[in-house]
C-alpha cells in the first residue's frame, strides 16, 4: 500500500488530558492546517486573479479603493475607506471610535450605490450597519512609527532598512475583523456551502489578505505624493516581510468555550495530522532536507520575535535555546528510517519545553501536504444537532462522562477564593467580554457561563442525590440551571478535544493562552502579549502578495534565510 | 428591519437570560427565535410576549401523561426543551399533549429539532394552527389569522407522514423596531454597568496601542 494513503496511523493521537491544558494550548504555533495557509494554498491552486478596479485616494490619504479577488466562480471585493485620522484619535484600542482605514468585504462586485451605502456606514464600524451583501467588517490603524519611516524613506528616494521593518512587522494593524452576521452582515450559513468558505474563517482571512495589499499600496501612494519624481518603489523583498498586525482582546477567549465542537475539530485535525506523520515508517531524503531547512528558518523567525511582556520574554528565553538544541540533535540524527518523526518527537517530549514541542509538531507537518492537508476539510462545525441534549441518557452515564472528562475539575475546591477569583462578564459600555475580580467588583451577577470546570463540579454534586438509572431529562426538568453543563458534557463525550481542561476563572488564569491558541489556528505568528488579556500579533508576514502567489513557496510563514 | 440570524439568536439568548432563564434554556431560546424568524414567523415577538408575563408559568410537573404546570401556565421554553430531550417518545407514535401553554409558537422549533432527531416529520397543532416540520423545513397552514396566540389550552405534538409543500428557511429575519427594542431592554440586564476599574482591568486597556 502507498504509505501516503495510510491515514489510519499506528501512533495514537495525543490524549485530551495532555493536550487541553492552557499551558500547552498557549504554546501553539501556526501550521499548514492554519486558516491563512488553507486560503493561500487554495488561491494558488485555483489560480485566483486579483484586480484593483478603484483607487481613488488623494494626496492626504483620504478616499476609497476596491480590491477584488476573482475565484473560478465568483468575485469578492474589499471596499477600503482611507481616512485622515488626527493623532489624538489614534489613542486606545478599547475606546476607539475612529480609525485610519475601515473596510467591508463585499460579496461580488459593488455598484456605486453600494459604495455610497458603505461609505455612510463602514467608517463608523459598530455604530454603522451593513447588509447581507457584506461578508465582513473591519478596521485598521497605522503603526505611526513605521509608516512615517517608510513613507519618508521612499519619498526621499531610498529603501527602508529591513531591520527597521522587521522590528514592527506591519504597517497597519486591524483591531477587529467581524464576520458571521455581525452588524447585519451575511451569516456564515449563507456562504458555508461554497468550497472556498468551507474551512473556518476563510472570509476573514481573505479580508486581511487583501487589506495587506491595500496598505502596501496606500503607503507607496503617500510616498509618491510626498516625494514626487524623487520617490522610489518599495523593494518587493522588504514588502514581503510586512504582515498585518492585529490587536486581539478578550473576545476571542470566550469563543473557544462557546464553540466546543468547532474547537474540537481544530485540535483533532492537527492531532490527526501529527499522528499520521509520526506513524510514517520512513522519510525520503528530500522530506528530511526540507524539514532541516525549515527548522533553520523557524529559528530565524524565533529570533525576530519581539516582546516586552515578562511571560513572553521567559517563553522566548526557553524556546530559542530549545530550538537550537533541537537543531543540534537533528544534525546528528538519521531521519530516514525507523519511524523517524516519531523518534524525533519522543526525543522532543523528553528534552524540550512545551513551546518547542508544539513548534516541532507544526514543523513536522510541513513536508507532508499530501498526507495531511485533506484534514482541513474536517475543521468546520457542520453538526447542526450538536446542541441537542439527549434526555434519555441516564444520570449514571452523565456522571461517568464527568469523571472521565472533568476529573481535573472535580478535585478542585471551588469555594476557595483563588480558584474562582475571576468572573467573565459583558460590560454595558462596549458590549464586549471582560474579565473581572469576583470578590472586588460587582460583577458576579453578570457572570457569563465560561467556567465549564466549576459548573461540571456543581453538576456532579447535584446528581449525587438522584437515582443513577433515571433519564437525565427528569433531572433537567427540576434543575434547568444545569442544562448548559449537561449539553457540554454530552458534546465532550463525543468530541474529545472540545473542552479546555483547566480552570478558566482562577486567580492565575492567563487569558492570553486562550488567545494564542485560537490565533495560531488562524496562522498568526510573533505573539506579543501587551498584558495578560490582550495580545498583538502579525498576520500574513512573509506571505506572497497576489502577483507573487503563482510562484510562491508553500512554506511562506518561515522567513527565508539571508 | 432585516437582521442576520446570528444577530437574532444572540439577542434572543441574552434577552431570555436577562429575564431570568438559566444559560442553558437561554441558549435554546436564542436558537428557537432564530428558527422561527428564518421561517418568517414572529418568534422574537413571541419571546418578548412570553418574557413579559413574569413568573406565573412553570415547567411540566412530570414527563408522564399530558404535560401541565403546577402554576397553571406551562412555560413554552422549558416544556419545548423537555419535548426535544425526549424526542424518542414521539418516534414511538406517542401523542404529547401540553396544557395551558404560554405563547405556543415557541414550542414549534423544539418540535422541529425533535423531528430532526427522529428523522420523521412532526405536526404541532393548537387553536386552529397546524404546522408540520421535518426539522429544517416547515409548512404551516389553516391559521386562524395570527399564529402568535398568547395562550393555548392544548398543544398537540405528534409524528406526521406528510412532507408535501414543506418550505426551506430564509437566511434573514425581519423584526420590528419595537420588538427589537423590547429584546434589548431584557438583554441589557445581562451587562455589567461600566466602571473605570472595568475599563482598565477588565479589558486590559490602559496600555497604549500606538507603535
Tell me which chain B residues have a C-beta less than 8 angstroms from the C-beta of A440. Answer: 197
The answer to whether the Cα torsion of A310, A316, A319, A321 is positive or negative is negative
Pairing assessment for the beta strands A243-248 and A170-178 based on DSSP bridges: parallel
Mean pLDDT of B9-23: 97
Rg (CA), chain B: 19
A487:B27 CB<8 A:
yes
Is residue A336 less than 8 Å (CB to CB) from chain B? no
Pairing assessment for the beta strands B122-126 and B96-102 based on DSSP bridges: unpaired
- Which of B75, B85, B196 is the best substitution to test chain A (most A C-beta atoms within 10 A)? B85
A228 and A260 belong to one structural domain? no
**Is A359 part of any domain?**
yes
**Is A167 part of any domain?**
yes
The answer to whether the Cα torsion of A360, A366, A371, A374 is positive or negative is positive
Nearest CA in chain A to B61: A477
Kindly report each contact of residues A61-67 with a partner whose C-beta sits within 8 Å and lies 24 or more positions away, as own/partner: A61/A218, A61/A221, A61/A222, A64/A115, A64/A119, A65/A214, A65/A217, A65/A218, A66/A110, A66/A115, A67/A210, A67/A213, A67/A214
What 3-state class would DSSP assign to B53? coil
Beta-carbon contacts of residue A365 (< 8 Å; ≥ 6 apart): A31, A32, A33, A273, A274, A277, A372
A65 and A112 belong to one structural domain? yes
pLDDT tens figures, B135-151: 999 998 755 556 778 99
pLDDT tens figures, A189-198: 999 999 999 9
Is residue B137 less than 8 Å (CB to CB) from chain A? no
A63 and A162 belong to one structural domain? yes
**Is A34 part of any domain?**
no
Return the number of other C-beta atoms located less than 10 Å from residue A387's C-beta.
18
Which of A200, A231, A249 is where one domain is finished? A249
**Is A391 part of any domain?**
yes
**Is A556 part of any domain?**
no
Side-chain-side CA neighbours of residue A173 (13 Å): 24
A13 and A63 belong to one structural domain? no
The residues pairing with A174 across neighbouring beta strands, listed in sequence order, are A140, A246
Cell reading at A267: 485540535
Q: Are A379 and A200 in contact (CB under 8 A)?
A: yes
B205:A94 CB<8 A:
yes
B203:A387 CB<8 A:
no
Domain boundaries, chain B: 2-192
Give the A window 164-203 contacts with B, CB below 8 Å.
168, 173, 175, 180-190
What's the pLDDT at A457?
Answer: 98
**Is A295 part of any domain?**
yes
Phi, psi of A104 (to 5 degrees): -135, 140
Closest to A417 in 3D by CA, of A507, A336, A511: A507
In whole numbers, what is the pLDDT of chain B averaged over residues? 91
The answer to whether the Cα torsion of A191, A193, A196, A201 is positive or negative is positive
Q: How far is B145 from chain A (nearest CA, A)?
A: 30
For residue B103, the surrounding DSSP H or E stretch is none
Q: Are A73 and A79 in contact (CB under 8 A)?
A: no
The DSSP output letter for B159 is E
Cell reading at A478: 427540576
Return the number of other C-beta atoms located less than 10 Å from residue A146's C-beta.
22
Q: CB-based burial of residue A364 (10 Å sphere; 0-12 exposed, 13-18 middle, 19+ buried)?
A: buried
A287 and A217 belong to one structural domain? no
- Whole-number percent of chain A with pLDDT over 90: 87
What's the pLDDT at B210?
Answer: 60
Q: Please count the residue pairs, one from chain A and one from chain B, whose beta carbons lie less than 8 angstroms apart.
A: 183
What DSSP letter does each residue of A28-48 carry, written as one string? ----TTSHHHHHHHHHHHTT-
Cell reading at B202: 477588565
Is residue B203 less than 8 Å (CB to CB) from chain A? yes
A301 and A439 belong to one structural domain? yes
Owner of C-alpha cell 478535585: A411
The residues pairing with B139 across neighbouring beta strands, listed in sequence order, are B132
> CA A547 from chain center: how many Å?
25
Return the number of other C-beta atoms located less than 10 Å from residue A290's C-beta.
16
Phi, psi of A160 (to 5 degrees): -70, 155
Domain around A91: 46-249
What 3-state class would DSSP assign to A450? coil
Task: Note the pTM of the prediction, 2 decimals.
Answer: 0.95
Distance CA A549, CA A18 (A): 38
Distance CA B15, CA B144 (A): 29
Rg (CA), chain A: 24
In Å, the largest CA–CA distance within chain A is: 85
Closest to A25 in 3D by CA, of A187, A252, A334, A340: A252
Nearest CA in chain A to B199: A94
Distance CA A554, CA A481 (A): 49
Along the 562 residues of chain A, how does pLDDT read in single tens digits?
344 445 567 999 999 999 999 999 999 999 999 999 999 999 999 999 999 999 999 999 999 999 999 999 999 999 999 998 887 777 545 557 889 999 999 999 999 999 999 999 999 998 999 999 999 999 999 998 899 999 999 999 999 999 999 888 999 999 888 998 999 999 999 999 999 999 999 999 999 999 999 999 999 999 999 999 999 999 999 999 999 999 888 888 899 999 999 999 999 999 999 999 999 999 999 999 999 999 999 999 999 998 999 999 999 999 999 999 999 999 999 999 899 999 999 999 999 999 999 999 999 999 999 999 999 999 998 887 789 999 999 999 999 999 999 999 999 999 999 999 999 999 888 788 899 999 999 999 999 999 999 999 999 999 999 999 999 999 999 999 999 999 999 999 999 999 999 999 999 999 999 999 999 999 999 999 988 888 899 999 999 999 999 999 999 999 999 8
Is residue A160 less than 8 Å (CB to CB) from chain B? no
A286 and A365 belong to one structural domain? yes
Distance CA A270, CA A27 (A): 14
Cell reading at A188: 456564515
Is residue A561 less than 8 Å (CB to CB) from chain B? no
Beta-carbon contacts of residue A432 (< 8 Å; ≥ 6 apart): A94, A249, A250, A251, A426, B203
Q: How far is CA B78 from CA A384, A474, A476, B59, in A?
A: 21, 12, 9, 6
Q: Are B78 and B52 in contact (CB under 8 A)?
A: no
Of the candidates A143, A426, A487, the beta carbon closest to that of B190 is on: A426
For residue A436, the surrounding DSSP H or E stretch is strand A433-437
Which of A249, A284, A305 is where one domain is finished? A249
Distance CA B39, CA B43 (A): 9
A285 and A309 belong to one structural domain? yes
Closest to A165 in 3D by CA, of A534, A542, A530, A519: A542
When divided into structural domains, chain A yields a total of 2
A436:B198 CB<8 A:
yes
Please provide the distance, in angstroms rounded to a whole number, between the alpha carbons at the two ends of chain B.
40
Closest to A434 in 3D by CA, of B209, B189, B205: B205
Of the candidates B172, B202, B211, the beta carbon closest to that of A427 is on: B202
Kindly report each contact of residues A254-259 with a partner whose C-beta sits within 8 Å and lies 24 or more positions away, as own/partner: A254/A424, A254/A433, A254/A448, A254/A450, A255/A518, A256/A500, A256/A514, A256/A517, A256/A518, A257/A450, A257/A452, A257/A500, A257/A504, A258/A450, A259/A381
Q: CB-based burial of residue A14 (10 Å sphere; 0-12 exposed, 13-18 middle, 19+ buried)?
A: buried
Which of A234, A249, A264 is where one domain is finished? A249
What 3-state class would DSSP assign to A142? strand
Q: Are A212 and A502 in contact (CB under 8 A)?
A: no
Give the A window 121-150 contacts with B, CB below 8 Å.
131-132, 141, 143-146
What DSSP letter does each residue of A543-560 carry, written as one string? PPPGGGGGG--TTTTSPP
A442:B192 CB<8 A:
yes
A325 and A466 belong to one structural domain? yes
Q: Are A69 and A236 in contact (CB under 8 A)?
A: no
Beta-carbon contacts of residue B127 (< 8 Å; ≥ 6 apart): B104, B144, B149, B152, B153
A180:B6 CB<8 A:
yes
B88:A392 CB<8 A:
yes
The residues pairing with A280 across neighbouring beta strands, listed in sequence order, are none
ipTM of the complex: 0.95
What's the pLDDT at B206?
Answer: 47
Return the number of other C-beta atoms located less than 10 Å from residue B196's C-beta.
7
A486 and A352 belong to one structural domain? yes
Is residue A473 less than 8 Å (CB to CB) from chain B? yes
What size, in residues, is chain A? 562
A336 and A187 belong to one structural domain? no
Distance CA B209, CA B211 (A): 6
B201:A437 CB<8 A:
yes
A213 and A337 belong to one structural domain? no
What 3-state class would DSSP assign to A176? strand
For residue B46, the surrounding DSSP H or E stretch is helix B43-51
Amino acid at each position: 500500500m502507498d504509505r501516503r494513503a495510510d491515514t489510519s496511523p499506528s501512533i495514537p493521537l495525543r490524549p485530551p488530558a495532555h493536550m487541553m491544558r492552557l499551558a500547552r494550548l498557549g504554546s501553539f504555533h501556526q501550521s499548514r492546517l492554519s486558516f491563512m495557509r488553507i486560503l493561500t494554498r487554495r488561491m494558488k491552486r485555483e489560480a485566483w486573479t486579483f484586480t484593483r478596479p478603484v483607487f481613488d485616494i488623494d494626496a492626504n490619504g483620504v478616499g476609497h479603493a476596491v480590491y477584488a479577488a476573482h475565484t473560478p466562480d465568483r468575485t469578492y471585493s474589499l471596499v477600503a475607506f482611507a481616512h485622515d485620522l488626527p493623532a489624538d484619535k489614534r489613542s486606545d484600542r478599547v475606546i476607539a471610535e475612529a480609525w485610519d482605514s475601515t473596510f467591508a468585504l463585499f460579496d461580488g462586485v459593488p455598484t456605486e450605490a453600494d459604495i455610497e451605502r458603505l461609505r455612510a456606514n463602514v467608517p463608523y464600524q459598530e455604530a454603522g450597519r451593513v447588509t447581507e451583501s457584506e461578508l465582513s467588517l473591519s478596521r485598521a490603524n497605522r503603526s505611526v512609527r513605521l509608516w512615517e519611516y517608510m513613507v519618508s524613506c521612499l519619498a526621499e528616494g531610498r529603501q527602508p532598512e529591513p531591520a527597521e521593518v522587521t522590528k514592527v512587522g506591519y504597517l497597519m494593524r486591524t483591531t477587529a475583523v467581524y464576520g458571521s452576521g455581525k452588524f447585519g452582515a451575511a451569516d456564515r450559513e449563507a456562504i458555508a456551502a461554497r468550497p472556498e468558505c468551507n474551512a473556518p474563517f476563510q472570509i476573514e482571512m481573505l479580508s486581511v489578505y487583501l487589506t495587506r495589499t491595500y496598505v502596501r499600496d496606500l503607503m507607496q501612494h503617500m510616498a509618491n505624493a510626498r516625494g514626487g519624481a524623487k520617490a522610489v518603489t518599495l523593494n518587493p523583498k522588504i514588502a514581503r516581510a510586512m504582515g498585518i498586525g492585529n490587536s486581539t482582546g478578550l473576545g476571542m477567549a470566550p469563543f473557544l468555550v462557546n464553540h466546543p465542537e468547532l474547537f474540537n475539530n481544530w485540535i483533532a485535525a492537527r492531532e490527526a495530522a501529527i499522528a499520521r506523520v509520526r506513524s510514517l515508517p520512513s522519510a525520503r531524503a528530500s522530506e528530511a532536507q526540507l524539514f532541516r531547512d525549515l527548522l533553520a528558518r523557524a529559528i530565524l523567525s524565533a529570533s525576530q520575535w519581539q516582546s516586552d511582556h515578562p511571560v513572553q520574554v521567559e517563553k522566548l528565553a526557553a524556546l530559542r535555546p530549545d530550538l537550537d538544541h533541537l537543531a543540534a540533535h537533528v544534525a546528528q540524527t538519521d531521519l530516514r528510517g525507523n519511524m523517524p518523526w516519531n523518534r524525533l518527537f519522543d526525543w522532543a517530549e523528553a528534552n524540550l519545553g512545551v513551546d518547542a514541542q508544539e513548534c516541532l509538531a507544526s514543523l513536522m507537518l510541513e513536508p507532508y501536504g499530501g498526507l495531511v492537508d485533506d484534514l482541513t476539510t474536517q475543521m468546520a462545525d457542520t453538526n447542526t444537532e450538536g446542541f441537542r441534549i439527549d434526555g434519555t441518557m441516564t444520570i449514571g452515564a452523565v456522571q461517568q462522562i464527568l469523571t472521565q472528562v472533568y476529573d481535573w475539575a472535580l478535585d478542585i475546591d471551588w469555594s476557595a477564593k483563588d480558584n474562582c477569583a475571576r468572573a467573565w462578564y459583558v460590560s454595558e459600555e462596549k458590549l464586549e467580554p471582560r474579565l473581572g475580580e469576583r470578590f472586588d467588583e460587582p460583577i458576579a451577577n453578570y457572570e457569563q457561563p465560561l467556567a465549564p470546570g466549576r459548573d461540571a463540579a456543581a453538576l456532579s454534586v447535584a446528581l449525587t442525590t438522584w437515582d443513577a438509572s433515571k433519564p437525565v431529562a427528569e433531572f433537567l426538568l427540576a434543575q434547568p440551571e444545569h442544562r448548559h453543563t449537561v449539553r457540554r458534557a454530552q458534546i465532550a463525550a463525543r468530541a474529545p478535544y472540545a473542552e479546555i481542561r483547566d480552570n478558566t476563572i482562577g486567580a492565575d488564569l492567563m487569558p492570553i493562552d486562550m488567545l494564542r491558541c485560537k490565533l495560531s489556528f488562524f496562522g498568526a505568528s510573533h505573539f506579543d502579549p501587551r498584558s495578560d488579556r490582550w495580545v498583538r500579533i502579525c498576520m500574513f508576514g512573509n506571505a506572497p502578495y497576489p502577483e507573487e502567489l503563482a510562484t510562491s513557496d508553500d512554506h511562506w510563514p518561515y522567513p527565508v534565510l539571508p | 428591519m432585516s437582521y442576520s440570524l446570528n444577530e437574532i439568536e444572540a439577542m434572543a439568548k441574552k434577552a431570555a437570560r436577562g429575564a431570568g432563564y438559566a444559560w442553558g434554556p437561554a441558549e435554546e431560546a436564542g436558537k428557537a427565535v432564530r428558527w422561527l424568524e428564518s421561517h418568517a414567523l414572529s418568534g422574537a415577538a413571541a419571546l418578548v410576549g412570553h418574557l413579559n408575563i413574569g413568573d406565573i408559568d412553570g415547567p411540566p410537573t412530570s414527563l408522564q401523561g399530558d404535560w401541565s404546570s403546577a402554576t397553571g401556565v406551562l412555560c413554552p421554553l422549558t416544556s419545548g426543551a423537555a419535548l426535544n430531550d425526549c424526542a424518542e417518545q414521539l418516534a414511538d407514535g406517542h401523542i404529547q399533549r401540553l396544557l395551558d401553554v404560554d405563547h405556543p409558537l415557541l414550542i414549534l422549533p423544539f418540535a422541529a429539532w425533535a423531528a430532526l432527531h427522529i428523522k420523521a416529520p412532526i405536526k404541532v397543532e393548537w387553536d386552529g394552527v397546524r404546522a408540520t416540520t421535518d426539522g429544517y423545513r416547515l409548512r404551516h397552514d389553516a391559521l386562524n389569522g395570527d399564529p402568535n396566540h398568547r395562550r393555548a389550552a392544548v398543544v398537540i405534538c405528534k409524528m406526521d407522514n406528510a412532507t408535501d409543500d414543506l418550505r426551506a428557511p430564509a437566511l434573514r429575519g425581519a423584526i420590528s423596531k419595537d420588538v427589537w427594542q423590547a429584546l434589548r431592554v431584557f438583554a441589557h440586564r445581562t451587562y455589567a454597568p461600566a466602571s473605570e476599574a472595568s475599563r482598565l482591568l477588565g479589558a486590559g486597556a490602559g496600555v497604549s496601542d500606538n507603535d
